[in-house]
Amino acid sequence: MSSVPPLPESTSSAPDLIACDIFCAVIDNFGDIGVCWRLARQLASEHGWQVRVFVDDLHAFQRLCPSLALDLARQTIAGIVVEHWHEPTHAGDTLDVADVVIEAFACELPPVYVAAMAQRERTPVWLNLEYLSAEDWVADFHLRPSPHPRYPLTKTFFFPGLGPGTGGVLKEQQLDAARASFEASPAAREAWWLNSIGHAPPPATATVVSLFAYENPAVDSLLQQWCDSARPIVLLVPEGRISGAIARFFGLPGFAAGATAERGSLRAHALAFTEQANYDALLWASDINFVRGEDSFVRAQWAAQPFVWHIYPQADDAHLPKLDAALAHYTRTLPADARDAFGRFWHAWNGAGQPDWSEFQRHYPALKRRAAEWADELAQVGDLAGNLALFAKTQLK
Residues 223 and 352 placed together within one structural domain of the fold: yes
Residues 36 and 159 placed together within one structural domain of the fold: yes
Residues 316 and 338 placed together within one structural domain of the fold: yes
Radius of gyration of the chain, Cα coordinates, nearest whole angstrom:
22
Report if residue 99 sits inside a domain. yes
Q: Which of 385, 238, 294, 388 is nearest to 32 (CA)?
A: 294
- The total domain count for the chain is 2
100-104 sheet: strands from edge to edge = 74-77, 80-84, 50-55, 19-24, 100-104, 125-129, 154-158, 145-147
Per-residue CA distances from 373 to 221, 332, 386 (Å) = 31, 11, 22
Q: Which of 80, 95, 84 is nearest to 40 (CA)?
A: 80
Report if residue 33 sits inside a domain. yes
Amino acid code (one letter) for 275? E
Residues 185 and 304 placed together within one structural domain of the fold: yes
Residues 200 and 106 placed together within one structural domain of the fold: no
Tell me how long the chain is: 397
Residues 56 and 128 placed together within one structural domain of the fold: yes
Report if residue 341 sits inside a domain. yes
Residues 56 and 80 placed together within one structural domain of the fold: yes
Amino acid code (one letter) for 141? F
pLDDT for position 114: 95
Per-residue CA distances from 41 to 169, 284, 286 (Å) = 14, 22, 26
Amino acid code (one letter) for 138? V
Q: Which of 94, 72, 71, 70 is nearest to 21 (CA)?
A: 94
Active site residues: 32, 294
Low-confidence ranges of the chain (pLDDT < 70): 1-16, 28-31, 87-88, 93, 317
Q: What does the pLDDT look like over 59-105, one tens digit per residue? A: 889 888 889 999 999 999 999 999 999 866 777 767 889 999 999 99
pLDDT for position 274: 79
User: DSSP letters of 155-200?
Assistant: EEEE---SSTTS--B---TTHHHHHHHHHH-HHHHHHHHHHHTSSP
CATH of the domain at 296: 3.40.50.2000
Domain hosting residue 159, numbered range = 9-169+382-395
